[in-house]
């Protein structure tokens, strides 16, 4: 089965908007890894996108933006995605993120009742990732 996910390590968080109970985390760009069924090789792409949490609160945020992710957790209900976000991503119930960033001990921590990843435009090819 073909799959795509955002690789958090190396993706850039450009902005964090809080409007009422909606928190929007903008990736500019997000790094996407695509895997084709039956292939040992994967490909890396970049694309703009927003992770939107509704009925949400920000528990911690980095002081300076933009920042480059080092990794972290994104979760929905009983599922926790470590260092990645599956594409597509949409969830209800407890939805959260705890992202780590290069060069700082600060995290981005958001908890909400629903979440959705909205990708913009189209992905742009970066490279092939060959097995070592």
Is 17 a residue whose pLDDT tops 80?
Answer: yes
Condensed to tens digits (0 to 9), the pLDDT of residues 56-93 reads 999 999 989 999 999 999 999 999 999 999 999 999 99
The answer to whether 46 touches 29, Cβ cutoff 8 Å, is yes
Q: Quick check: 10 pLDDT over 80?
A: yes
What angle (nearest 5°) sits at the alpha carbon of residue 82, between those of residues 34 and 2?
Answer: 20
Across 108-130, average pLDDT: 95
Judged against a pLDDT cut of 80, whether residue 132 lies above it is answered with no
Record the tokens describing residue 13, joined without a space.
Answer: 């968080």
Angle formed at CA 64 by CA 55 and CA 94, multiple of 5 degrees: 20
Q: Are 92 and 116 in contact (CB under 8 A)?
A: no
pLDDT of residue 1: 58
């Amino acid at each position: 089965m073909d799959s795509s996910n955002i690789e958090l390590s190396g993706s850039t968080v450009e902005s964090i908007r809080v409007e009422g109970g909606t928190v929007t985390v903008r990736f500019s760009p997000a790094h996407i890894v695509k895997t084709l069924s039956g292939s040992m090789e994967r490909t890396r792409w970049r694309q703009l996108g927003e992770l939107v949490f509704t009925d949400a609160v920000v528990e911690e945020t980095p002081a300076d933006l933009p920042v480059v992710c080092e990794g972290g957790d994104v979760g929905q209900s009983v599922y926790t995605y470590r260092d990645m976000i599956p594409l597509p991503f949409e969830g209800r119930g407890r939805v959260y993120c705890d992202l780590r960033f290069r060069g700082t001990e600060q995290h981005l921590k958001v908890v909400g009742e629903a979440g959705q990843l909205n990708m913009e435009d189209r992905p742009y090819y970066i490279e092939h990732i060959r097995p070592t």
